[in-house]
Chains A and B, each alone.
Chain A
């Protein structure tokens, strides 16, 4: 899938900021007053997830241009303030198309908002970074090797399902906006895997 103009990218940014703004405000707002009835905690909506850092690893799929690529994803995040976390993501995807071997390596970072509802912790994030693509083909008499690096932005989120005190299962979906040759591509990404949460403060 490809986005022909930058307008859709700008709209995506606006949507993300609109989505994150209330949570950003609540993350920095002063604490709510305690309930008058002693022993009853103040209700302030969904709880913030555990404040400790976490790491994720798992399988990832992307549809890059017209090619289906499979690979892996590693990411980590730590609490910044309340529900606001900072995340970093490293992924690699590989496959073949038209007889050539394709690879895509990306390194992205950015803010993540996370909530917790009992065992379920949804999150939304926007990450920015570099995406490096490569093409290779060996044929009799010739060798093809090419690589290119582009600006990439992902917009998406996922859900963590707590399995134990430290472990959770994660499903994640996002769109990768890739800037190349004066135009934007929009490639979907999916990831499934496990999350390990370190002890929080």
Chain B
């Protein structure tokens, strides 16, 4: 009798490569230009983002201006005093934003799946040593959020966002594995990093964390709960 364990894991860190869908896109003050991809960006400082219920009001520290460059192109711009930057005529498909200060590269964010005549709104947290994606939204040339929420593939994928996923282990070890998320019609697997996580077995009496952890292998049903850390985001419109 095949016993299936549903392991309930609390993850300290969940690394995900997830398709992002604008399941509730934000409004934008301007319409995208005809042709190409438009990207409106905001840069916030190291202490501006809080994931707790208490808001943290941060004083932006002075430093050198941040420069944003599109890798392998001549497109480059400087972040303004209020943190804004804009790119127009970006290539469709994939491109990488490289963030640097005083000639020193701090980090980059790669965006894939950008379609023509799409406007991308992105908020990025930049510290002296790291670049993190905080929020990403997309709207098409109609100025509307592109998706019916019912057709969203996976909601979330924003860095530092809490996320819960349920599905099957596709491959890997109990601490690092690929997960086939339920309802993910894109067929993309999610990378899960469960080092430091706690393991709980549902439906099995007498199970210890060690036995639960050992049960996480290909074919096991799992429910994971953790935080998203995304270094690559895919801008994708759900299929009609």
* Minimal Cβ-Cβ distance residue in B for A182: B64
Is the beta-carbon distance between B48 and A146 smaller than 8 angstroms? yes
Is the beta-carbon distance between A2 and B80 smaller than 8 angstroms? yes
Is the beta-carbon distance between A185 and B83 smaller than 8 angstroms? no
Check if B165 is an interface residue, CB within 8 A of chain A: no
Count of chain A residues with Cβ under 8 Å from any Cβ of B? Answer: 35
Q: Which B residues lie within 8 Å of A47 (CB)? A: none
Is the beta-carbon distance between B135 and A97 smaller than 8 angstroms? no
Is the beta-carbon distance between A65 and B123 smaller than 8 angstroms? no
Is the beta-carbon distance between A135 and B161 smaller than 8 angstroms? no
Is the beta-carbon distance between A142 and B161 smaller than 8 angstroms? yes
Count of chain B residues with Cβ under 8 Å from any Cβ of A? Answer: 45
Is the beta-carbon distance between B82 and A64 smaller than 8 angstroms? yes
User: Which chain B residues (39-83) contact chain A, with CB distance < 8 Å?
Assistant: 40-42, 44-45, 48-51, 55-60, 62-66, 78, 80-83
* Minimal Cβ-Cβ distance residue in A for B80: A65
Check if A96 is an interface residue, CB within 8 A of chain B: yes
Which of B40, B156, B158, B162 interacts with A98 by CB under 8 Å? B40
Is the beta-carbon distance between B161 and A140 smaller than 8 angstroms? yes
Please report the number of residue pairs spanning A and B whose Cβ atoms sit closer than 8 angstroms.
140
Please judge, given known A-B contacts A67-B29, A182-B65, whether A137 and B123 are in contact too, CB under 8 Å.
yes
Is the beta-carbon distance between A181 and B81 smaller than 8 angstroms? yes
Check if B33 is an interface residue, CB within 8 A of chain A: no
Is the beta-carbon distance between A147 and B134 smaller than 8 angstroms? no
Is the beta-carbon distance between B134 and A185 smaller than 8 angstroms? no
Q: Which B residues lie within 8 Å of A146 (CB)? A: 44-45, 48, 57-58, 60, 83
Query: What 1/0 mask marks residues of chain B from 9 to 29 whose CB sits below 8 Å from any chain A CB?
Result: 000000000000000001111
Query: What 1/0 mask marks residues of chain A from 169 to 187 whose CB sits below 8 Å from any chain B CB?
Result: 0000000001011110100
B interface residue numbers (CB < 8 A to A): 26-29, 40-42, 44-45, 48-51, 55-60, 62-66, 78, 80-86, 121-123, 134-135, 137, 156, 158, 160-163, 227
